[in-house]
Amino acid sequence: MYQTFTMDLAGRTLKVDVNRVGKQANGCAFMQYGETTVLSTATASEKPREGIDFFPLSVEYEEKLYAVGKIPGGFNKREGKASENAILTSRVIDRPMRPLFPKDYRNDVTLNNMVMSVDPACRPELVAMLGASIATCISDIPFDGPCAMTQVGLIDGEFVINPSQEQWKNGDLNLTVASTTEKVIMIEAGANEVPEAKMIEAIYKAHEINQTIIAFINKIVAEVGKPKHEYTSCAIPTEMFDAMKAIVTPEEMETAVFTDDKQTREENIRNITAKFEEAFAENEEWLAILGEAVYQYEKKTVRKMILKDHKRPDGREITQIRPLAAEVDLIPRVHGSAMFTRGQTQICNVCTLAPLSEVQKIDGLDENEVNKRYMHHYNFPSYSVGETKPSRGPGRREIGHGALAERALVPVLPSEEEFPYAIRTVSETFESNGSTSMASTCASCMSLMAAGVPIKKMVAGISCGLVTGDTDDDYVLLTDIQGLEDFFGDMDFKVTGTTEGITAIQMDIKIHGLTRPIVEGAIARCREARLFIMDTCMKPAISAPRETVGQYAPKIVQIQINPEKIGDVVGQRGKTINTIIERTGVKIDISDEGAVSVCGTDKEKMDEAVNMIKIITTDFEEGQVFTGKVVSIKEFGAFIEFAPSKEGMVHISKISKERINRVEDVLTLGDVVTVVCLGKDKMGRISFSMKDVAQQ
């Protein structure tokens, strides 16, 4: 028999079935929240994976399109690779749970979350997050949980706990917070310039809700939880560390890492490693784990320097930002470009503008297809860190970094009515030594302004690090962490925003949570730093968006027509609109509301296309003057095409002031003539006159 557990969560019932399905997994939770259904499982290998120095955790979030009554597109008609949303959701589940597994655990662990139905009032991402935690907690896999997650929206200034899909899209805050019993362990946020104080209030509102969920999970574990299994520890032997310190003293290790040049530091560590390899040549067991041992030795040295001596590896003060530089227009012919440099982290961002027909269409677990107008893509080639490996496309890290920078800038973008363009920015990592996502945010902001995108405010971002001691009060916050401080520290707290408030947060930690003073201190430190970056680096390079788009960017003219006239512009099977496009070389987009965007690079051709559309959609009145081409000649007159698929007739008596016997005496096919509208004849056709034009 299976067991069912329920709790009221934000006014809806959260239901968990255990031992109903997936009984061969180490842990399985069949989750329902409202009518959203997710199957969450946790499985682990029996033995550790050999030859690795990391915990092999894999988190999957599977979107099944039957969950929203859709059949997948494409030839195969089945789900393919994970969507961007699925990858980002997997990362949000991974980040708070990974630190709660034992640091010396090397067994493969997979957390799988399969979305089977979606209730728009209950977001499936949240259900998967809770399901992963519950499945792991009730399993026999070693895990220092439970942890819980809550999402918070902001609608008309009021917090909404676990908002619906619609509220999540349209609110001023998308906040996800994970907690343990005592501390916050993960924060992910997108915000519409939410002030720091309001953000902190929202974080701890979510933390409060998380405590009720943790109590619920503890109840489930108490009734159906399995005893945790024993595992083979992969910790470095104490005697090995003692031997290493005898060969290279802590003072020598400190000298090796104390430099602001990444390459020099890495060369120093290589030399130290070579000494150890020579000393341990006869000890194969120690040689097999030497890389991890050197890493741990270096880590302990750096943490001691920072925590006890407030001494950073590159000599900076704990609040000091590395040297900054910024420039725009370094890449010719593109629509906009900018480069942002912070120490040994350097990002070049390129902005491309296109008509709205180029928006990205996303087919996911939303009942309606979603169009994404602004796209930010982030690339991280191996040369940026002095390594060599073939490019295999963006991985989960690249997708996550791109999404963070994208989220940071969305709140300041102009509306489609203000700026009818699709926008893509691409961040190319030229050099990396910590927090390239925040450098991407700064470079993207400047690139948008250089391209003439009228963003509402400047956005910058920075990352704050943390090194903790033995007590909650023993810690040091570090402004602008470099790679070494990220690797060896306890936190990577990224915050982006304007002068008014926060636009995005992403917090990763390697410890079991943060106290409120640490969270508040990190947010305050990031605000101070981003304002400094704007004032001293970004504004001198470009202080405001350019008034017009660049020379090589497409130009867009937008006019409004009566929606009832859209069919006239399109024509039968698209004949009319295609004729306009062929004649002028422009691109034309028409919304259901009658907003017509004409995109091109030649102003005269764009004006010609706009004029054609205006003619087609204008009700014809006596006295209007048109220019058209003779397309047909009859005995009684000539037909003039004055717009694609629009013709009127000039009777033979209206061609010339002098009497003529044959139309061909005056007109030839293809002649361009000016005519005046006389109204409609008895057959409903538009009548023109050539001889009466001068009178108008």
pLDDT at position 367: 63
Quick one: average pLDDT of 513-519?
A: 94
pLDDT at position 370: 75
Quick one: average pLDDT of 199-204?
A: 97
* 51 vs 108: CA distance, rounded Å: 13
3-state percent breakdown (helix, strand, coil) of the chain, nearest 5: 35, 30, 35
pLDDT at position 595: 87
Three-class secondary structure assignment of 27-40: EEEEEEECCEEEEE
Quick one: average pLDDT of 57-73?
A: 92
pLDDT at position 22: 96
Q: Of residues 364 and 131, which shows the higher confidence score?
A: 131
Q: 107-117 and 57-63 as β-strands: parallel, antiparallel, unpaired?
A: parallel
- Residue 694 in this model has a pLDDT that exceeds 70: no
- Residue 692 in this model has a pLDDT that exceeds 90: no
> Which tens digits make up the pLDDT trace of 621-645?
777 888 889 989 998 899 998 888 7
* 501 vs 172: CA distance, rounded Å: 12
Mean residue pLDDT of the chain comes to 92
Are the C-beta atoms of 244 and 278 separated by less than 8 Å? Answer: no
Distances from the Cα of 242 to the Cαs of 293, 333, 577, in angstroms?
11, 60, 79
- Residue 217 in this model has a pLDDT that exceeds 80: yes
Quick one: average pLDDT of 484-502?
A: 94
| 3-class DSSP state of 420 | coil
- Would you say how long the chain is, in residues? 696
Quick one: average pLDDT of 555-575?
A: 88
What single-letter DSSP state applies at residue 281? T
For the domain spanning 324-541, the CATH number is 3.30.230.70
Long-range contacts of 394-397 (CB under 8 A, 24+ apart): 396/87, 396/90, 396/91
> Which tens digits make up the pLDDT trace of 353-379?
999 888 888 877 876 667 899 999 999
Quick one: average pLDDT of 194-209?
A: 97
Three-class secondary structure assignment of 291-353: HHHHHHHHHHHHHHHHHHHCCCCCCCCCCCCCCEEEEECCCCCCCEEEEEEECCEEEEEEEEE
What single-letter DSSP state applies at residue 282? T
pLDDT at position 364: 75
What number of other Cβ atoms are within 10 A of residue 185's Cβ? Answer: 27
pLDDT at position 695: 57
Is the CATH number of domain 625-695 3.50.50.60? no
Q: Do domains 238-309 and 555-617 have the same CATH topology?
A: no
* 1 vs 325: CA distance, rounded Å: 65
- Residue 432 in this model has a pLDDT that exceeds 90: yes
Residue with tokens 């894999």: 58
* 223 vs 585: CA distance, rounded Å: 70
Quick one: average pLDDT of 123-147?
A: 97
What single-letter DSSP state applies at residue 121? T
- Residue 602 in this model has a pLDDT that exceeds 60: yes
Two structure tokens written together for 348: 């070049």
First vs last Cα of the chain: how many Å apart? 91
Is the CATH number of domain 238-309 1.10.10? yes
- Residue 462 in this model has a pLDDT that exceeds 90: yes
Are the C-beta atoms of 554 and 355 separated by less than 8 Å? Answer: yes
Compute the Cα dihedral for 670, 674, 677, 682 and give only its sign.
negative
- Residue 85 in this model has a pLDDT that exceeds 90: yes
Quick one: average pLDDT of 308-316?
A: 89
Please tell me which of 62-76, 392-406, 533-547 the model is most confident about, judged by mean pLDDT.
533-547
Quick one: average pLDDT of 195-215?
A: 97
Q: 107-117 and 148-155 as β-strands: parallel, antiparallel, unpaired?
A: unpaired
Q: In what helix (H) or strand (E) does residue 524 lie, and over which residues does it extend?
A: helix 516-533
Quick one: average pLDDT of 425-448?
A: 96
* 637 vs 690: CA distance, rounded Å: 11
What is 555-617's CATH topology?
Ribosomal Protein S8; Chain: A, domain 1 (3.30.1370)
pLDDT at position 374: 96
Q: Of residues 189 and 626, which shows the higher confidence score?
A: 189
Q: How confident is the model at residue 495 (pLDDT cuts 50, 70, 90)?
A: very high
> To 10 degrees, what angle do helices 575-584 and 603-617 make?
160
> Which tens digits make up the pLDDT trace of 151-176?
999 999 999 999 999 999 999 999 99
* Selection from 323, 326, 321 nearest residue 339 by Cα: 326
Distances from the Cα of 269 to the Cαs of 247, 265, 274, 276, 388, in angstroms?
14, 6, 9, 11, 19
- Residue 221 in this model has a pLDDT that exceeds 80: yes
pLDDT at position 124: 96
- The residues spanned by each domain of the chain are 3-168+195-224, 238-309, 324-541, 555-617, 625-695
Tell me the percentage of the chain whose pLDDT exceeds 70: 99
Quick one: average pLDDT of 685-689?
A: 85
Beta bridge partners of residue 103, listed in sequence order: none
Residue with tokens 């009145």: 621
> To 10 degrees, what angle do helices 124-138 and 196-224 make?
40
Is the CATH number of domain 3-168+195-224 3.40.50.620? no
pLDDT at position 619: 73
* 314 vs 485: CA distance, rounded Å: 10
- Residue 249 in this model has a pLDDT that exceeds 80: yes
Q: In what helix (H) or strand (E) does residue 408 lie, and over which residues does it extend?
A: helix 396-409
Quick one: average pLDDT of 91-100?
A: 96
Distances from the Cα of 26 to the Cαs of 20, 110, 138, 401, in angstroms?
14, 10, 8, 32
Beta bridge partners of residue 179, listed in sequence order: 148, 184
Long-range contacts of 544-551 (CB under 8 A, 24+ apart): 544/449, 545/448, 545/449, 545/452, 545/453, 545/454, 545/455, 546/449, 546/450, 546/451, 546/452, 547/452, 548/452, 549/335, 549/353, 549/451, 549/452, 549/453, 550/335, 550/336, 550/450, 550/451, 550/452
Are the C-beta atoms of 342 and 480 separated by less than 8 Å? Answer: yes
Quick one: average pLDDT of 345-350?
A: 98
| 3-class DSSP state of 518 | helix
- Residue 566 in this model has a pLDDT that exceeds 70: yes
- Residue 501 in this model has a pLDDT that exceeds 60: yes
Are the C-beta atoms of 538 and 474 separated by less than 8 Å? Answer: no
